[in-house]
Amino acid sequence: MPELPEVETTVNDLKPQLTGLRISSVEVLAPRTIETPSVEEFICCLTGRRIDKISRRGKHLVFSLDNSQILIVHLRMTGSLLIKKSSDLPEKFVRVILRFENGAALHFRDVRRFGRMWLVDNQDAVVGELGPEPLNDEFTPAVLAAILKDRQTPIKGLLLDQKLIAGIGNMYADEALHQARLHPLRPAGSLKIKEIAALHEAIRIVLNKGIRNKGASTDTYFRPSGSKGAAHLEFQVAHRKGEECPACRGIIERITVQQRGTFYCPLCQKRPTE
């Protein structure tokens, strides 16, 4: 699933190619991809608009248009935004196509059809309830401590709650917990001050590393050029069940935490009672 580093990589790749371009036509091949407004209104309102800015909020891509409307894209589990030529025929899993006056096109490829697009007047209608951005200066150890306080939720599950912290998904939560040497089933509120500081640092380390490596192509994620990211090649535990832990040579295990597959090292990430 594309998480913060994959979405940030997509934003960084799209900015120089699409900023300032005007949309000449819109083709919706999978109507349910459009969350709001109606497909007809979506096509009508988006056609002729210029993209003034491309940014990210959590796992959402935010396209600011010249009429102050906002196009928001959530890639969900299997989505990618690919730069093509306007004349290119869509591949099997392309759901929406934006074509531009300069001959470029943006294909929204989504294998499982979970991705969504919104065209709204105010982005808060879609992303207003998201928690703080973990790479912003405002996200301090004290802010993280306040989020964790008195919560009995397993720390892995809390890191995935987008209303508490925006952008962290399954892979990078596993990586951050391993970096901080925390067991994924630890109650969030049980972390001590030093452990909270270690987790805060670990979150920022693994996310920034993921961005530097252009995201993780573990399954269906591709950069806009069609190339793969390399972040997964440096994962310490995520998707590495049965392999040796790079830190201690323990054997990485997989458990389920709140219905999510979770990878960890039982030697590096012991429960407090062990």
Active site residues: 2-3, 59, 260
Q: Point out which residues pair with 60 in neighbouring strands.
A: 57, 74
For 126, half-sphere exposure in the C-beta direction (CA atoms, 13 angstrom radius) is: 26
Listing from the earlier edge strand, what are the strands of the sheet with 60-65?
34-36, 116-120, 70-74, 60-65, 51-57
DSSP structural state of residue 127: H
Q: Is 264 helix (H, G, I), strand (E, B) or coil?
A: strand
CB 34 within 8 A of CB 95: no
CB 236 within 8 A of CB 245: yes
E-strand spans in 123-185?
none
Q: Point out which residues pair with 97 in neighbouring strands.
A: 27, 107
